Each structure stands twice: as C-alpha cells, then as structure tokens.
Structure 1
Amino acid sequence: MKYIEYKFEVHPLQPGRDILLAELGELPFESFEDHEKGLLGYIIESEDRKDLLNEVSILKSDEFQIVHTKSTIEQVNWNEEWEKNFHPIHIDTRCTIRTPFHSKTKADIDIIIEPKMSFGTGHHATTYQISEMLLEEDCENKRVLDMGCGTGVLGILTDIRGATSVDYIDIDTWCVENTEENLERNSCKGNVILGGSDKIEKNYDLILANINRNILLEDMSTYSAHLVSGGAIYFSGFYEEDLELIEKEASRNELTFVKHQTKDNWVAVKFTKN
C-alpha cells in the first residue's frame, strides 16, 4: 500500500496551521505531522484525487499564503530504517518494546517487534499511550480485538498479560504478515485477518482501535455492537481537539467515557459499554 505525502507551507504559521489541520481532518487523510514551515499530511494513494482540496476554504483565503506539494511515499523496508534509528521503548520498569537486535531487558514484560512495512513500535505517542494504559487494564481471561493492528504490538501486550484470545484485523497485507511474524517472535497466538470493520464477527471484552479520527467515527457503531456489556474500548490516533467529537459519537453508541491522556497533542481514551 502506497501513501501520498502532502507538504503544506503556511504563512503566517499560526493560526494558519491549526485552521488547515482542522479542515484537512474532514478529508480521508490517515495522519498528520507538523514541520517547521507548516504541515505534512498522509493519505492512501487510492483515496487521493485531483479535487481533494477543492473545499478547503483556508487555501482560498487572502489572510494566509499556503502552497503545497505532494509526492508518493514508496514502501520502506522498516527493518533497515529502524536498525539505524530504533531505540527500545521503556514504559517505566514494567514493559519494554524492542527489536530482535536489542538485548533483553529486565522489564517485567519484554515485547519483541520487528516492524517491517507496518507501524506500531511504541515510539508514536498513540501506541505508547495505549500500551501504558493497558498496563493498568485487567486483561486476564479477556477476549480482545486489536483493530488496525499494524505490528500487533497492542494485542501482543494483552496476550502476555493474560488475554484468553486475541484477534487482529488490518486492511494492509504487510501489517497482517508482520503481525503474524511478531506473534511468533513473542510466543503468542492469535487470529490475524485482512480487512476492515466488516470483518468483525465476534463479541469482545476489550477492543483496541488505534487508527484515525475519521475511521473511528465511521466505524464506532460497529465496534460498540461487538463490545460486550461492561467491556472496555480504547481509541487513539486523533488530536486533542477531536476528543469532544469522539466522546459525542461514543455516547450515541452506548459508550461511557472513563479517562484519557495526551502526549504531543495525541490522545488515547478509554470508554466502557453501558
């Protein structure tokens, strides 16, 4: 799966960048990243189109000067890239997420992840935060769904912490293959499925969905329908300013807010089923 990178240069930078981000958030971008002159946006190649930005009103405003370029992001061999730059992730003394080329640590939970073409190493604020919150979650004897699994790291963490079963779903074939490999590396078992929310067939005690705002809003009713009463669901992959929108949609789907935390403006939030 290829991605298109949109690079926006914004002047004046603020509040231009924030306004631009809010408007682009309504489009099917997967993620965003700040850069010193503006904003980077990433979209799956199949979702890109010539008129994608036609309704972005700030691009037509006389108050801001915004130019953009776009380029195709080729598949990257994350093994090679992470071997150059990857450092183990330590969640205090309880959990370490590392690659096979790092030495085993003394952490209570030692997870080995080789990312290949997929994401989910613990470095990103979303993955880190859900991992941190899951260390406080009772995973014993739980049926778990890792939705948008990436490398499978979140589901693997629940498996190690006593989950009865874990299903992994992702739309990317690389993620499915990578999750299967990482399950084997960590002596875990699981059912790994290629597809989207339409592939959810079972009911779960615990659902993890680290995706993006638009997908979460679109599929929340499906997630809720497959979460048992009293079950917990964790969402991440969106910015702090989107939390109110996520909460409102969750409330409409019988989900009750429990808590959230923020890191680098990224949010991880826990809900329970009424």
Structure 2
Amino acid sequence: MKYLVADFNIACAAELMQTARDLVADLAGEAGFESFEDTPEGIRGYVQTDALDKQTLDGGIADFPMPDVHITYTICPAEDKNWNASWEASGFDPVIVDRRIIICDAKRPIPDTDNMTPIFIDACQAFGTGTHQTTRMIVSALLSLDLDGRRVLDCGCGTGILGIAASKMGAKGVVGYDIDEWSVENTEHNCQINHVENMEVLHGDALVLSHVSGVFDVVLANINRNILLHDLETFKDIMASGALLVMSGFYEADIPMLLAKATELKLKEVGRKTDGEWACLMLQLA
C-alpha cells in the first residue's frame, strides 16, 4: 500500500497545543488518516493514498472549533514501509476484559491466564489488540451475549480480534472483511495461531457483502463515525430479524447522529458503553 504523510503545523498558545493536536487527529481520522505522532510543531499523520478525503480534511480545518488556533499542513508521499514496525516489535502487555478474556501479544511468553479465555494477537499493520477502549468495549459487549450457534460478521476486521473472540465464545461461523489487504492476511494469521477454523476473511469494503450469502445474527463494527453512517444501511440489509449490531470507533458526542440514522433504519438501541470519550452502541433490528 502507498501512504501519504501530512505534517500539521499548529500555531497556538502552549497550553492549548495538546487539545488542538487531539482535535486535529479527530478530524484527520474522519478524512481517512490511520495513525499519528506528535511533533514539536503539532502532529504528523499517515493516510493511504486512496483513502484521503481532502475535502473533508480541509473542511474540518476551516471549521476548527478553537478560534485562537491556526492550522496549516503539507502533505507528500511517505516512504513505502511498515509504519507500525517499531510498535509491533515492542508489543503490548496482556489486556484483561471483564476477568473472562485475556488478550495476549503472540510474540511474548504466554502469561498466566488464570482460567480466562486467551486470545493471541500478532499485530502487523492492522488495528485491534485490545489496548484501545473501542476494542475492549466491543469484546465486553460480546461477553454479555449468547453466541452459541450464532453467525457473526466482523466489519473492518483489522487483526481479526473481534471475530476470533466471537468464535471462541461459541459462534458457529464468522465472516470478516477489511479494505486493507495486510489486515486480511493478519486476520488469517491470527486465526491460525488461535486455532480458529470457522472464520472466513474477505478483502474489500462493505460492498463485498453483496457476495456473501445468508444473514447474520450479530454484526460487529469498530469503524469511524462517517463510515458507520455510510454503511449502516448495508449492515441492516444483511441482519437477521432480531439481530444485534455492536459498533464502536466513535465518540460519545457522535451518538445522537448515529442513533438518528439507526432510527431511520428501524434499529433500536438496546445498550451502550462509554470509556473516557469513546462510546459503544448495541442496536437491535426489529
């Protein structure tokens, strides 16, 4: 994949810089950016060449909510390499969810699982290790469901962590998809190391679901707000009667907008979780 790197120069008072960085990362994330790092002048972001929505980016900067902050940016092709390599090499500490699931770095020695169900993740250019609030909330929501014999869809599967968790909780079959080919390969790899044999992984966006037969009892989506708004109708069309949609990847402030769209599609809120500013919604199809 080809990436672009953008350097955002943020001119503001020192005490405003971190808040401004967070807001720039939020609006850039809506424009397709995947990862960020702080710089002395502001923040640097990375986006796949084909994923950049420059109109959204420029609009977000023009409407920036901090009047005393001035933002400019430059963008150029990035060196073609794995920008997560250093993070992947250092790995992550075990993540425990509700004392029932322990998510472990597959590169590290196996920890004491203390009768919890282990999930081993070898992250390679893909999102989803359990260290982020959104992943943990969806795994926690899954633990509240009876997945025995259910068919599950993992939208934007990343490392495959959510689909793998669903399989280990009793799902009879899981389908995952991701627009990133590396994520598809990483999910397949993580299925192998977790001995999950009932998860099929597809390459593409939500349009790939037109090639999937049947409907799903549970749909999982840890994706940013704008993609969720765009794809909600597609998700609804492949949900069985009474099926659940568990989604995160957005802020608590985004809930009213998402619920308005869900109501149009006859998806009713049946639960929610929050962790800091992040949120997770559970919606049921009537």
TM-score, length-scaled by structure 1: 0.86
RMSD: 3.2
Gaps of 5+ in 2: none
For residue 73 of structure 1, report the CA deviation from its aligned partner.
Answer: 7.1
C-alpha distance in structure 2 between counterparts of 1:164 and 1:90, whole Å: 24
Pick one of 174, 180, 200 that aligns with 1:172.
180
Amino acid at match of 1:64: V
Contact 1:26/1:214 (8 A) holds in 2: no
Alignment match, 1:147: 155
Contact 1:170/1:193 (8 A) holds in 2: yes
- Structure 1 position 88 matched with structure 2 position 91: no
For residue 5 of structure 1, report the CA deviation from its aligned partner.
Answer: 4.5
1:1-274 equivalence runs, <5 A: 1-6=1-6, 7-11=8-12, 13=16, 17=20, 24=27, 28-30=31-33, 42-48=46-52, 53-55=57-59, 56-58=61-63, 63-70=68-75, 72=78, 74-76=80-82, 78=84, 81-100=87-106, 101-104=108-111, 105-189=113-197, 190-200=199-209, 201=212, 202-274=214-286
Q: Deviations over 1:169-211 (max 9, x none)?
A: 1111111111111111111121111111111123100000111
Contact 1:93/1:107 (8 A) holds in 2: no
Q: Deviations over 1:93-135 (max 9, x none)?
A: 2111112223142242100110112111111111111111111
Q: Deviations over 1:136-182 (max 9, x none)?
A: 12111110000100010001111001001000111111111111111
- Secondary structure of 1:122's counterpart equals coil
Structure 2 CA distance for partners of 1:120 and 1:54, relative to 1, 3 Å:
closer
For residue 231 of structure 1, report the CA deviation from its aligned partner.
Answer: 0.7
More deviation in 260-269 or 211-220?
A: 260-269
Q: Deviations over 1:5-34 (max 9, x none)?
A: 543525253898399659937953345769
Contact 2:10/2:69 (8 A) holds in 1: no
More deviation in 262-271 or 205-214?
A: 262-271
Identity of matched residues, %: 32
TM-score, length-scaled by structure 2: 0.83
- Secondary structure of 2:195's counterpart equals coil
Contact 1:29/1:41 (8 A) holds in 2: no
For residue 48 of structure 1, report the CA deviation from its aligned partner.
Answer: 3.1
Structure 2 CA distance for partners of 1:163 and 1:73, relative to 1, 3 Å:
farther
Contact 1:28/1:214 (8 A) holds in 2: no
Q: Deviations over 1:203-256 (max 9, x none)?
A: 100000111111111111000111111110111111221111111111111110
For residue 54 of structure 1, report the CA deviation from its aligned partner.
Answer: 4.3
For residue 45 of structure 1, report the CA deviation from its aligned partner.
Answer: 1.7
Structure 2 CA distance for partners of 1:267 and 1:52, relative to 1, 3 Å:
closer
Structure 2 CA distance for partners of 1:96 and 1:225, relative to 1, 3 Å:
same
- Secondary structure of 1:216's counterpart equals helix
C-alpha distance in structure 1 between counterparts of 2:235 and 2:220, whole Å: 10
Contact 2:248/2:280 (8 A) holds in 1: yes
Contact 2:245/2:282 (8 A) holds in 1: yes
- Secondary structure of 1:151's counterpart equals coil
- Secondary structure of 1:119's counterpart equals coil
